């Protein structure tokens, strides 16, 4: 069983068990129970109302979810849709930052793109509705939000009480399994998730501390209780205390999953938890020896510091580093949706999210969008300097010269591809990048251009073997791209592959973090 912090899996199981017990043992208690009969009265089925997309009604039955065309049945029950007054409603539940800032901005932008206005109706402190309407007040759609946390968002989806999860982390195996059991499909598949923006996790300290950087390995050791003094982290003799956000916060969970458990550690019981990120920032700023982890988008008095590794690489959460995943604690923000049919406005909204208008809204909301931006060769001088410094006996000058000669005639794009640890599967951000690249090609943005997928590897093993590995990665990304494009690329678009093995490291090979940064495929375009 996959372990979930603080009983999160148990909460999901409990919620699923309550749902099953109520539905199968005492159906009369459901205010949302409906009875559907075929028009010829030959069939009758009773179930819990799940949703209606304007054409089909879906209910939960003893046999699982059932979808029927609404015009082929009669419906009895308070939840039965009234076609005369029907307005499609999309229900969102999950992460507070997404619900309060990012998603309302995106819904309002979508409304403008449709010639509509978005009117906010607050139900209480944790719920609100954005109604999309025409200039004369005719309602076209409702986007309802429950402001909670990532855990509760998945629980609501599994209980059929939400259509979208707003998640600050990737879905966990336990959540994926439960969702599949109740007929919601595979939440970890590319078609059931969208990345709507990028945030980043950043270490924060008191402005009085005077420590500019910290290593990921030290972060992990500190939160595991193995480092308790700043002297062990390259600072002064001062007790080190660690702070983190709520147990149910998706960003905090992501940090624990990737940084601690990724290094086979568990979180220390001495970690000070805070109810909000804002409270954490205030507490860390006030204590000279405090160390915290916060989303980049949180503004507060604590001072953000950069990440470094043992061979001198320093990484800060600047826009290009987050887009390329060169910053190792980049944190995508996800929407997860069920496999069942939703109202057409849901798919119109999802399609709009991939377009340039949505990317502009993401930026204006204070997050980082996924739009590809060029990174000139001049802006990458430090990377190439690192390549020369790190070059060993297996990396001859001639290979570095070949790399500069080939890439010098091109421009790197911020679209990059990395793989899950120990897997040939692209990670979540890279899967989203692949879909965005495919859409850009379809839209004609690279018509008449030559793109190049350039593979790199870590430095373990021989240079020749690493070049072969990096070549295999670039070919694998091209294969995935062609598959997403329906089996072929359009005429006028050329995509080539190249590989340089360990020639351009982004991190140290003495840690898994560094090796993961080095194993990548970059996208370049001819000038």
443 inside domain: yes
Residue 116 located in a structural domain = no
For the CA atoms of the chain, what is the radius of gyration?
25
Q: What is the pLDDT of residue 11?
A: 53
Task: Count how many residues are written for the chain.
Answer: 527
Domain harbouring 290, CATH code: 3.40.190.10
**Does residue 379 sit in the same domain as residue 239?**
no
- Tell me, what CATH number does 435's domain have? 3.30.1330.60
Check whether residue 292 and residue 226 sit in a common domain: yes
In the listed set 281, 298, 322, which residue is the last one of a domain according to the structure? 322
- HSE-up of residue 153 (Cα within 13 Å, Cβ side): 34
Q: What is the pLDDT of residue 15?
A: 53
* CA angle at 454 for the pair 451 and 457, rounded to the nearest 5°: 165
Q: Give yes or no: residues 315 and 412 share one domain.
A: no
Asked if residues 158 and 18 have their Cβ atoms less than 8 Å apart, the reply is: no
Strand, coil or helix: what is 191?
Answer: helix
Boundary of a domain, candidates 293, 322, 351: 322
- Biggest alpha carbon–alpha carbon distance for the chain: 83
pLDDT of residue 388: 65
Q: Where are the beta strands (DSSP E) in 305-390?
A: 306-308, 314-315, 330-336, 374-375
E runs forming strands in 347-489: 374-375, 410-418, 450-456
Residue written as tokens 């911020």?
414
Grouping H, G, I as helix, E, B as strand and the rest as coil, residue 333 is strand
Distance of CA 47 to the CA centre of its chain: 34
**Same domain for 391 and 513:** yes
Position 133 scores a pLDDT of 97
Number of domain units in the chain: 2
| Domain's final residue, options 322, 347, 363 | 322
In a domain, 391, yes or no: yes
Statement: the pTM of the whole predicted model exceeds 0.85: yes
SS (H, E, C) 432-469: HHHHHHHHHHHCCCCCCCEEEEEEECCCCCCHHHHHHH
What pLDDT is stored for residue 24 in this prediction? 40
Q: Are 414 and 482 contained in the same domain?
A: yes
- Is 35 among the domain residues? no
Q: pLDDT 10s per residue in the chain (527 long)?
A: 333 344 454 555 545 544 444 344 333 334 489 999 998 888 899 999 999 999 999 999 888 889 999 999 999 999 999 999 999 999 999 999 899 999 999 999 999 999 999 999 887 879 999 999 999 999 999 999 999 999 999 999 999 999 999 999 999 999 999 999 988 999 998 889 999 999 999 999 999 998 999 999 999 999 999 999 999 988 899 999 999 999 999 999 999 998 998 889 999 999 999 999 999 999 999 999 999 999 999 989 999 999 988 777 888 999 999 999 889 899 999 999 999 889 999 999 999 998 889 999 999 999 999 989 998 766 666 666 666 666 556 777 778 888 888 888 889 999 999 988 767 789 989 999 999 999 899 999 999 999 999 999 888 888 888 899 999 999 999 999 999 999 999 999 999 999 998 888 888 887 777 888 889 999 999 87
Q: Is residue 223 part of a domain?
A: yes
Exposure of 92 in the CB half-sphere (CA atoms within 13 A):
26
CA–CA gap between residue 480 and residue 190 (Å, rounded): 12
- Quick one: 281 and 380 in the same domain? no
Domain hosting residue 255, numbered range: 199-322
In a domain, 340, yes or no: no
Residue 341 lies in a domain: no
Q: Is residue 243 part of a domain?
A: yes
**Amino acid 404: pLDDT:** 83
521 and 382 share a domain?
A: yes
pLDDT of residue 456: 92
Checking 230-238 for CB contacts under 8 A at 24+ apart, the result is 230/289, 235/209, 235/210, 235/211, 236/210, 238/209, 238/288, 238/289
8-25 and 173-181 helices, crossing angle to 10°: 10
Per-residue confidence (pLDDT) for residue 297, from 0 to 100: 92
The single-letter DSSP state of residue 394 is T
């Amino acid at each position: 069983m996959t372990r979930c912090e603080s009983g999160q899996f148990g909460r999901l199981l409990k919620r699923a068990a309550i749902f099953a017990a109520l539905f199968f043992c005492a159906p009369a208690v459901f205010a949302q129970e409906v009875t559907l009969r075929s028009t010829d009265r030959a069939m009758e089925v009773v179930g819990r109302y799940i949703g209606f997309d304007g054409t089909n009604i879906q209910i939960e039955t003893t046999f699982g979810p059932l979808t029927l065309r609404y015009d082929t049945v009669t419906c009895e029950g308070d939840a039965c849709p009234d076609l005369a007054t029907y307005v499609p409603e999309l229900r969102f539940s999950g992460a507070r930052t997404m619900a309060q800032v990012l998603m309302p901005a995106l819904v309002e932008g979508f409304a403008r793109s449709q010639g509509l206005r978005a009117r906010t109706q607050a139900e209480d402190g944790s719920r609100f509705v954005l109604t999309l309407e025409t200039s004369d007040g005719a309602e076209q759609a409702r986007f309802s939000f429950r402001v909670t946390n990532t855990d509760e968002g998945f629980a609501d989806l599994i209980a059929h009480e939400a259509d979208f999860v707003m998640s600050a982390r990737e879905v966990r195996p336990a959540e994926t399994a439960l969702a599949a059991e109740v007929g919601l499909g595979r939440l970890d598949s590319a078609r059931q998730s969208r990345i709507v923006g990028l945030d980043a996790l950043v270490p924060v300290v008191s402005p009085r501390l005077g420590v500019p950087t910290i290593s990921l390995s030290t972060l992990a050791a500190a939160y595991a209780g193995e480092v308790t003094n700043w002297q062990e982290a390259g600072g002064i003799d001062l007790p080190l205390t660690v702070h983190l956000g709520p147990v149910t916060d998706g960003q905090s969970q992501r940090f624990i999953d990737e940084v601690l458990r990724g290094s086979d550690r568990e979180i220390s019981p001495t970690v000070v938890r805070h109810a909000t990120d804002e409270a954490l920032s205030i507490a860390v700023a006030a204590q000279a020896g405090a160390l915290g982890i916060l989303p980049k988008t949180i503004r507060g008095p604590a001072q953000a510091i950069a990440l470094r590794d043992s061979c001198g690489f320093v990484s800060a959460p600047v826009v290009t580093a987050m887009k390329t995943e060169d910053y190792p604690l980049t944190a995508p923000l996800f929407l997860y949706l069920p496999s069942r049919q939703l109202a057409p406005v849901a798919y119109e909204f999802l399609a709009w999210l991939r377009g340039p208008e949505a990317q502009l809204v993401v930026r204006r909301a204070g997050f980082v969008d996924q739009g590809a931006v060029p990174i000139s060769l001049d802006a990458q001088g430090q990377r190439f300097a690192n390549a020369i410094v790190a070059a060993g006996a297996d990396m001859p000058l001639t290979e570095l010269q070949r790399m500069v000669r080939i890439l010098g005639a091109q421009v790197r794009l911020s679209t990059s591809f990395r793989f899950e640890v120990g897997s040939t599967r692209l990670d979540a951000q890279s899967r989203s990048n692949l879909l965005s690249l495919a859409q850009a090609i379809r839209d004609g943005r690279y018509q008449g251009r030559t793109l190049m997928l350039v593979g790199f590897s870590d430095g373990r093993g021989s240079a020749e073997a690493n070049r072969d590995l990096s070549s295999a990665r670039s070919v694998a990304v091209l294969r995935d791209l062609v598959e997403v494009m329906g089996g072929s690329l359009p005429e006028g678009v050329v995509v080539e592959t190249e590989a340089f093995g360990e020639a351009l490291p982004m991190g140290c090979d003495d840690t898994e973090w560094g090796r993961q940064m080095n194993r990548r495929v970059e996208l370049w375009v001819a000038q």
